[in-house]
Structure 1
Amino acid sequence: MTITPAFLPEELISLEQARDEVGAAILGTLLVSNRLKALCFDPFGHCTPIHSTVWGTDAGRQIMDAGVVPFGIAQQVGIQNYRDEDIGTYVDKHALFANIEVVTEDDESAKVEEKPKNKGGRPSADWDAVFIAAACHIATDGLPATQSEFIGVLQEKLGAKAPGDTQMKERIGPLFNAVRKALTTG
C-alpha cells in the first residue's frame, strides 16, 4: 500500500505517471539538475521535497523504478515515515512539461517540440548525457573542488561528444553551484 495525501493539488502527478510520459532519463535529468522537484507526503499531509542529490544514488534509482519512495529507504532520503508503507511521490506537471518544451496540440495528446537542425558549427550537445554523467560523477566520486575541474572531468568522460567550455559553464555551472551550496550548508 502507498501513502497518498487526502487532498492532492491538481497540478501534481505521480512520479510513475511522469516517468511513463517523458521517460526515466529525461525525468532523472530534470530532477538531478534541480529544474524539477519531487515531493512526498507523510501520513499527516506534510510535504517533503526529495533533494536533487538523491537522484544520482542507488536510492534515487530505486525511487525512479518504483515510482514511489519504498518504505525501506524513506529515512535514507530524509523522509519521516510513520507507517510500514511506500510513500507517494509527485511532481508538478506544469513545471515538468515547461522544462521539456512540450507543445500541446489538444487536451488529449502532446508531443515534444522538435529543435531546429544545427546550421553549422559544433553539433548540438546531448545534454541528457552530460547531466547523467555529472550526476554519476557526483554520486561516485564527489564534487571536484572547482567548476573548471568538474567541466574537465565531464568533457574527458564524454570525449568528442562533449560540449565546449562556454556551453558547459552555462549549463553545468548552476548544477555545480547548487550542489556545492547544498554540501556546504548541509
Structure 2
Amino acid sequence: MKAFRDVRGMGVEPYDGITEVWLNDPLDLDMGADLSDEIIAANQMLIEDEAKFVDLTGSRVFIVREHEVFMTPPRGDFYKIIICDRRLPSLSREQFQDYWLQHHAPLALSVRERGYAPPMLGYIQNHTLDLPMLEPFKVARGMTGEAYDGIAEIWLSEMDDLNKLDHTDPEQLAVNQMLLDDELKFVDFPGCSVFMTVPHRIF
C-alpha cells in the first residue's frame, strides 16, 4: 500500500479501522427528540466505552450510498483495500461522484477485463450523502472532521494479490499511468488515505 500511497501523494495517515453499519433507510437513524431515560443511558454507555479505545475527535462518520461496480462473493476470508477519497476543490460533491461512477468506474472495469488489474473479487464505490441525521451522534462524540466525499472498497481474496502484476511490463506501466492521470482529474490526493483491512462481521 505504501507504493500506491506514495505515487499519489496521499497526505492522510492510514486509519486503524473502519466501522460499517448497513441500513435500509437513513431515516432509521432518526430516533426523535423525546428519548427515554433508558435510551439516553444506553447511548452514554456506548460513548464512554468508545472513549476507552477510540480517538473520537480524530474520527469521522458519514452516510453513504453503495454502488457496486462488480462483485464476486468471497468463499472464505478476504481483505478490503479502503480508499478515503476527497474531491478537487474545483468540483462539487455531485460532480465528483458523477465522474467517479460514470467515467472512472467503466475505465477501471475495462482495465480489469484486459488483465491489467490485480485479481480482485469486488470494487464498490460508497458515495457520501449530505444528510443531517448523524449530527447528534457527531456532537456527542466531539467529531469535528469533515466527511470524505466517498469511500472506495477493493476486495481481495489474498493480501498478496496486489503483487501479481508485472510492473516492469511497459503496457502495465502505461495502464497504471492512464488510471492515475484520470484520478487526477477529480481526486484531491493530499486529502486522501488508503489502507488494507480484515473484515469482521458482527451481525
Query: Normalising by structure 1, what TM-score?
Result: 0.24
Flag the structure with more relative contact order, 1 or 2, with Cα contacts below 8 A and sequence separation at least 6: 2
Query: Normalising by structure 2, what TM-score?
Result: 0.22
